[in-house]
Amino acid sequence: MKIRTVITFLALLSIVLLLAACSGAPTAAPSEQPTQAPAQEQPTEAPTKAPPTPAPTEKPVEQPTTAPESEQPETITLSLAHPVWFNDHDWTVTKIKEWEAKNPGVTVKLVELPSPDGPYREKLVLDLASGQGPDIYLADTFWFGEFAEAGYLANLTDYVNAWDDWSQWYDAAKSAVTYKDNVYGLNRTTDVRPLYYRKDLFEKAGIATPWQPTSWDDMFSAAQKLKDIGVKAPWMVKAGKVVGEATTMQGFYMLYLGCGGQLWNPETGKWDIGSQCLRDTFQVYYDLYIAKKLGGDPDNWLAGDPISNYRQMMQAGELGMIATWNGDWSGTFGPNGDFPLENRDEQLAYTKFPAQAPGKGIRGQDYVTISGGWAFVVNGASQHVDKAFDLLAYLHTKDNVISYYRDQPTLPGGLPTRQDVTNSEEWQSLVDDYMLWQAEELVPLTTFRPPVPEYPKVSEAIQSATETILLGGSVDDALAQYQDDVIRIVGEDNVTK
């Protein structure tokens, strides 16, 4: 009985052990883990668990209200300085707005600088030197050498060479914006300098009109007759430092070219500081303002706004004659000008400026003039040269240059730099006899200022010398001061005494 009980117990124990082995352990050994599904297949083992929702900042591409960064519109602000006293300021602003509409995301911010030329340049140079200058600005072309050397101008040569319109520029106009074979700006017009005179005053003084002087003596003679009938300023020549380059280009140079002067010799690289022509030029200043008192009160050029002063005097019949910018005919004295003459064509006339004597002018000419003009340029430090040039190209298309003449209240005085504009029937239908006279009579006589970096400083020395005379100094005083200044600027080895 006892044996049977033991046997029965052992049999039951065997059965229990066998069942335990068949059911398997609830926890698998580490060596058995590879039989589980790979990591990427695990979600199929728990289909009821939703994947976590990512935060909006983790996947911006899934936000339907925000475009990818690569598709965002480009946002650029271009700063542009345009002289507010220029007659075409309103027209330029209108064209800039047109361009903005064609270039979404680009805004042009207008920067206002002081006027006229001298203060404008001074503030502009300060801004450029401090790295705060505008992306685009208007520059007188005689600044190009100095500004290019200082890094204030972006080189636009590759841009214009890839632009078909550039082939339409006259070669002379191209040269005005070129320095050391590189192009630094776009110029819409160029200019010349005629001699304006009050025809009604001349007739009152017994001088026959139309009048064409053939020498400086003719001009002094006419000035004396005007003085005799009480004209306050018979013959003005621009002078002094206040009007800046206007003194040099429209005053000094018109006389100096008339006696055959060459300020800088491109073959020798030397500057004239002692020629007889230079002395003769300063002598005219002395005779007009000091000795013969034919130029009006010298104080007119020493303070305030001398440009407005002479224009107001011409309007009032107090000025007999002056050589100046060709744009004054329409932009200043025309019906819609700043100082309109009620009967301009009966009161005012224009003529060529004579050499000191026939044949004594530059290149043996009987008459002289000089050209310059302003141009749009791009700051050498601009981060947006591509867009800046695109705006400049738009402002200088054939259609827009014609619009420049057609759509302003006053006909501009400058001559187009694009030959396809000059040759177009529409432009020819817009201009007057004065414009055609300039093209035929003055352009063949013209010359340009020295395209070298030292010129602006030499020009300032000229302005200071003329101011010395305005203040009562002698010709010798002015000449000595000029010589010292130029030697200091260019060095004694680079002058001709």
CATH number at residue 166: 3.40.190.10
Among candidate residues 445, 460, 480, the one where a domain is terminated: 445
Mean pLDDT of the chain: 87
If asked whether residues 478 and 430 sit together in one domain, one would say no
Asked if 136 contacts 124 with a C-beta cutoff of 8 angstroms, the reply is: no
Query: What is the number of structural domains in the chain?
Result: 2
Nearest to 196 by CA among 454, 468, 434: 434
If asked whether residues 342 and 394 sit together in one domain, one would say no
Please report whether residue 25 resides in a domain: no
Output the pLDDT for position 65.
42
Please report whether residue 58 resides in a domain: no
pTM of the predicted structure, to 2 decimals: 0.72
Question: To the nearest 5 percent, what fractions of the chain are helix, strand and coil?
Answer: 50, 10, 35
Nearest to 450 by CA among 313, 268, 297, 308: 268
Output the pLDDT for position 70.
52
Please report whether residue 249 resides in a domain: yes
If asked whether residues 300 and 351 sit together in one domain, one would say yes
Nearest to 311 by CA among 292, 288, 334, 289: 334
Please report whether residue 2 resides in a domain: no
Q: Strand runs (DSSP E) across 133-249, as ranges?
A: 136-140, 178-179, 182-183, 189-190, 195-198, 233-236
If asked whether residues 224 and 156 sit together in one domain, one would say no
Output the pLDDT for position 336.
87
Q: Give pLDDT tens digits for 265-276.
A: 988 999 999 999
If asked whether residues 231 and 344 sit together in one domain, one would say yes
Output the pLDDT for position 73.
62
Please report whether residue 425 resides in a domain: yes
Nearest to 144 by CA among 414, 461, 382, 452: 452
Q: How far apart are CA 358 and CA 365, in angstroms?
A: 7
Q: How far apart are CA 252 and CA 288, in angstroms?
A: 13
What is the token pair recorded at 122?
Answer: 């001074």
Output the pLDDT for position 72.
60
Please report whether residue 69 resides in a domain: no
If asked whether residues 341 and 214 sit together in one domain, one would say yes
Output the pLDDT for position 71.
57
If asked whether residues 122 and 133 sit together in one domain, one would say yes
Residue type, 373: G
Range of the domain at 417: 74-185+372-445
Q: Give pLDDT tens digits for 343-401.
A: 999 999 999 999 999 999 999 999 999 998 899 999 999 999 999 999 999 999 999 99
User: Cα 233–357–267 angle (5° rounding)?
Assistant: 110
| Radius of gyration in angstroms for the set of CA atoms belonging to the chain, rounded to a whole number | 39
The DSSP result for 262-329, as a single string, is -SEETTTTEEESS-HHHHHHHHHHHIIIIIS--S--GGGGTSS-HHHHHHHHHHHT-EEEEE--TTII
Residue type, 63: Q
Residue with tokens 């104080």: 299
If asked whether residues 288 and 434 sit together in one domain, one would say no
If asked whether residues 251 and 361 sit together in one domain, one would say yes
Output the pLDDT for position 423.
87
If asked whether residues 121 and 176 sit together in one domain, one would say yes
Output the pLDDT for position 483.
98
Which portions of the chain are predicted below pLDDT 70? Answer: 1-73
What is the token pair recorded at 188?
Answer: 């819409």
Please report whether residue 53 resides in a domain: no
Q: Give pLDDT tens digits for 135-175.
A: 999 999 989 999 999 999 999 999 999 999 999 998 878 98
CA dihedral 110, 111, 112, 116 (to 10 degrees): -110
If asked whether residues 355 and 426 sit together in one domain, one would say no
Strands 189-190 and 195-198, by their bridges, are: unpaired
If asked whether residues 422 and 478 sit together in one domain, one would say no
Please report whether residue 268 resides in a domain: yes
Output the pLDDT for position 85.
80
Residue 400 Cα to chain centre, angstroms: 17
The DSSP result for 212-229, as a single string, is ---SHHHHHHHHHHHHHT
